[in-house]
Amino acid sequence: YRQMKSTLMKRLISLVREPLVHFLLIGAGLFLLFNVTSGPAGDQPDRIVVTSGQVKEMEAKFTRTWMRPPTKEELAGLIETYVRDEIYYREAVAMGLDRNDPTIRQRMRLKLEFLLEDLSTVAEPGDDVLTAYLQEHPDKFQMEARASFRQVYLNPTKRQNMEADATHMLARLKRGAAPESVGDSTLMQGEYRMATRSDIAGQFGEPFARQLVTLAPGTWTGPLYSGLGGHLVKVTEREEGRLPELAEIRDQVEREYLAQRRQELKDTTYQKLRAGYEVVVEPPASAEGRSGEAIAASRPEESGQ
């Protein structure tokens, strides 16, 4: 008996320490608070109480929408609409119309997830935590390479020998010829200022961008090829891609970190709730009308989840 009592006490202490229990206790408190503040309607299904707070909210919402307070007749209409909604809602629930409705199920899931998110308070992280998160997730915060450059377009439909024409034009450009006097007409810009690699790739294609961001500034070179043809280019300024310091993007890193932590807490809560259910997935009936064996019948610990 003493051993059983000791085991029971250990389990109770362990249960009290579980974050999920804290969530559920707070949720139960909110539920009780709602029932107390919403009046005795829950105890009397045939009674609807429209509180003064609800009336004030109706008035405020009407005023925000129409930029004036409602008349007595309009306010009475708002109240009657609320009563009609409540009556239809209660009758629908009494008839079981809320069951097996995917839209209602989804809304209930979202409401519970919002509640859990509100309850999933995360301590404000320090710089050491955020620095570690930044280093662990560089792809989220990497600053792209940028380049300023000029380009001269070579239209492949007008060039029988693109390479030879490019060599001749490069010589002219290096001798100081104006870029506007060399090459073929195009609707593309002749000059780009500190364009990111992704912006360059969006206009010229990834192979072009990959080559351009490696070029040293100061010299005309080419041709580099895009989907439109050839291009002679001169990089005038370039910044390498880099992972910024925490001080430069602290707010962004903190937002990403907190969002991930909240999601982790929600996932943990779900797994604890999931552990209390046995899930059985039955296969469709066979041609002979037999349902066959269940596809799955497990708890998370049995399935390795």
pLDDT at residue 40 greater than cutoff 60 = no
Cα dihedral 57/60/66/71 (nearest 10):
80
| Residue 128, pLDDT above cutoff 60 | yes
Residue 296: pLDDT band (50, 70, 90) is low
Q: Out of 47-51, 141-145, 288-292, which region has the weakest mean confidence (pLDDT)?
A: 288-292
pTM of the shown model: 0.53
How many alpha carbons fall within 13 Å on the CB side of residue 111?
Answer: 8
**58 and 50 in contact (C-beta within 8 Å)?**
no
CA pair distance 277, 145, nearest whole angstrom: 51
Whole-number pLDDT of residue 150? 95
Which residue in this structure is represented by tokens 């539920």?
Answer: 31
Q: What is the pLDDT of residues 195-227, one digit of tens each?
A: 999 999 999 999 999 999 999 999 999 899 998
Lowest mean pLDDT across 1-5, 44-48, 95-99, 104-108: 1-5
Q: How confident is the model at residue 105 (pLDDT cuts 50, 70, 90)?
A: confident
Residue 86 pLDDT greater than 70, yes or no: yes
Residue in the block written with tokens 């509100």:
118
pLDDT given at position 107 = 87
Distance CA 202, CA 192 (A): 13
Q: How confident is the model at residue 38 (pLDDT cuts 50, 70, 90)?
A: very low
**102 upstream amide cis, omega within 30 of 0:** no
**Res 238: pLDDT:** 92
Residue 303 has pLDDT above 60, yes or no: no
pLDDT at position 226 = 93
When pLDDT is averaged across residues 67-81 and rounded to a whole number, the result is 93
pLDDT at 279 over 70: yes
Six-digit token pair at 163?
A: 């390479």
Residue 33 pLDDT > 80? no
At residue 141 the predicted structure's pLDDT band, cuts being 50, 70 and 90, is: very high
Average pLDDT, the chain: 81
Residue for token digits 């409401």?
111
42 pLDDT higher than 80: no
* pLDDT band for position 36 (cuts 50, 70, 90): very low
Q: For position 216, what pLDDT does the model report?
A: 92
